[in-house]
Amino acid sequence: YRSMFLYHEDINEYVKTNGTGNGYNGIQNIDKIVIDIDYVKDGTPDNGGLKTINNVVNIIDEMTKKTIEPEHYTIWFSGTGFHIHLANVYGFQPSNTIAQQVRITMQRDFGNYIDLIYDPRRLIRAGFSLNRKTNLFKVPIPYTDFFDFESCIGILDPGVYLLNFSLLTSPIAKT
């Protein structure tokens, strides 16, 4: 895992003094915005998977309308849902309110499709890390491959994707 936000170096002194980062209200920054699209749990695995993919497609459509190009983001399979790593195309600046600014912006632009995970202490799954719930890794999916639905998704268990990309095969993946 990694922090959603980057911290100013003064957090080191804060943690040393307080024994925790809880309550820190200093300057934070962001190097990328992680958009979290959770698996849609509606009781029907096939529909849930398609609804989840449709949420990603809807977000990409919204980004396209805002002239955000594919070179500004990367789509990741997170082990259950998807993450979109988006460059700081909004131009957020370091501040002690950046988490609120990001949350308000993401709610405005993508709120119908995403989990609002933008609080100052949020951790996010790191790329290529193992999702212990599914034994699948967080891996990038090439933009063009994401739109090849026939090879993109099959449902292994409710809420668990088996994506047919060579990057996703692992010796510990469910069989």
Q: What is the pLDDT of residues 26-39, one digit of tens each?
A: 999 999 999 999 98
**pLDDT for the residue numbered 152:** 53
Computed over every residue of the chain, the mean pLDDT equals 83
Q: Model-level pTM?
A: 0.83
Dig out the tokens for 117 from the structure: 């995970």
Query: What's the rounded Cα separation, in Å, for the pair 173 and 170?
Result: 5
Dig out the tokens for 76 from the structure: 């990741």
Could you give the 3-state DSSP secondary structure of residue 13? helix
Distances (CA, A) of 129 to 3, 73, 90, 112, 152: 14, 19, 27, 27, 20
Dig out the tokens for 143 from the structure: 């933009």
Place of tokens 């469910």: 174
Mean pLDDT by 10 residues, the chain (175 residues): 92 94 92 94 72 90 96 92 96 96 97 92 91 88 73 42 42 41
DSSP state of 83: E
Dig out the tokens for 140 from the structure: 């990038």
**pLDDT for the residue numbered 55:** 92
**pLDDT for the residue numbered 148:** 66
DSSP state of 95: B
